[in-house]
Structure 1
Amino acid sequence: MVIQVFTLASEGHVVKLSEVKLFGKWTYDNIEVRDPSLKKYICLKPYILPHTSGRHEHRRFGKAEVPIVERLMNKLMRPGENMGKKHLAYNIVKKAFELIYLKTGQNPLQVLVRAIENAAPREETTRIMYGGISYHVSVDISPMRRIDLALRHLTDGARDKAFNNPITIEEALAEEIIAASNNDPKSYAIQKKEEIERIALSSR
């Protein structure tokens, strides 16, 4: 998306157009969401700094308007050491995106979108009670929850890989996103997706 910036020269006319880029580097142009069910819920509105200060919190389905990169940052702030440290999560994601670009040569935003599509499970189980007996049945997953699960598994995989290891969290996150975008079975997020869908298949 291109935003016009009007600057007056000495003659008094418009001199240039400016493009909004994520972190001042990565363009939002031509980012493709292949999964039609997720297209409405992966927010790709142009933001230089993806930080909306929780303005979505009290609106139903407000998360759909939060930039997808900010949602990734929020998932990094899980209860524990990083709880509430938004600036730390911002720096982790920013460095991870730079590593993704160095390793793949692609726009990191597109790689993240592809990773979410591949890691989002389509079916899971829920427990129901019938006649005093509880049992599991398979159910379809809503698009919003599919994205939540994909982001959770991506960040959990990176956190587990970096914990008690010489590898940094930035490198672990970059590797996890790249592996998920390639549908690599070694990816933690892909493994969790297949496990969830396998359990759901047996509960049909």
Structure 2
Amino acid sequence: MSRRNVAKKRTIHPDAIYNSRLINMLTVRILKNGKKGLAQRIIYKSLDFIYNKTKEDPLKILEKAVRNTTPLVEVKAKRIGGSTYQVPMEVRAYRGTNLALKWITKFAIDRTGNTMSIKLANEIIDASKENGNAVRKREETHRMAEANKAFAHYRY
């Protein structure tokens, strides 16, 4: 454990076009090698693709996708008496949103397709319809927590 001061919470500014903090958080998840403009271009193209495919507001679909993939509980490894237990812990809202965005981008990268913007758009649409790899990951996390419910009394 660090003896230094606790890291200060950074404020997240909304993006320029959609005025949404969620899109800015997604930009940070896609960002590679400091190329923020490229990450934003990928996201805006994917949001246009979502609009063309569904004829609905892409921001609402993104919010629904994040809501569907946000986990409520997760397991954390805790060492007690020489053995390691998977202890189920509740997930705070900010961490849950970050996990959801992380899973959406990870499974979008792993998808087969032409461009990253199309793959990201398809993953977001699938997550908003409650099927897709990111939603499956959330269900798997919940199952792990349910299976290790016996160790819940080890929570810190």
Q: Same fold (TM over 0.5)?
A: yes
Aligned match of 2:138: 193
CA shift for structure 1 position 72: 0.5
> Hey, what does 1:156 align to over in structure 2?
106
Q: What amino acid does structure 1 have at the position aligned with 2:123?
A: E
Larger CA Rg, structure 1 vs 2 = 1
Choose the corresponding residue for 2:87, options 114, 137, 145.
137
Query: What's 1:100 paired with?
Result: 50
Partner of 1:116: 66
Tell me which protein shows more helix as a share of its residues. 2
The answer for the alignment partner of 2:26 in structure 1 is 72
Larger relative contact order (CA 8 Å, sep ≥ 6): 2
Instruction: Provide the identity percentage.
Output: 32
The SS at the match of 1:135 is strand
Distance in 2 (CA, whole Å) between partners of 1:105 and 1:94 is 15
Q: For residue 179 of structure 1, what is the aligned residue in structure 2?
A: 126
Aligned length in residues? 137
Is 2:45 aligned against 1:91?
no
**Counterpart in the other structure of 2:4:** none
In the aligned structure 1, how far is the partner of 2:97 from the partner of 2:33? 21
Question: What is the TM-score normalised by the length of structure 1?
Answer: 0.63
Cα distance in 1 for residues equivalent to 2:49 and 2:56? 11
Residue type of the partner of 1:60? K
Q: How far, CA to CA, are the matches of 2:96 and 2:10 in structure 1?
A: 14
- Unaligned runs of at least 5 residues, structure 1: 1-57
Amino acid at match of 1:62: T
| Mapped partners of 1:153, 1:167: distance in 2 | 20
TM-score by length of 2: 0.82
Alpha-carbon distance in 1 for matches of 2:106, 2:120: 9
Please give the alpha-carbon distance, in whole angstroms, between the structure 2 residues aligned to 1:155 and 1:132.
Answer: 36
Q: Root-mean-square deviation (CA), in Å?
A: 1.5
Quote the residue 2:3 is aligned against.
Answer: none
Superposed displacement of residue 130, structure 1: 2.0
Q: Report the alpha carbon displacement of residue 176 of structure 1 after superposing the two structures with TM.
A: 0.4
The residue identity in structure 2 corresponding to 1:179 is D
**Distance in 2 (alpha carbons) for counterparts of 1:59 and 1:131:** 34
Q: Which amino acid aligns with 1:178?
A: I
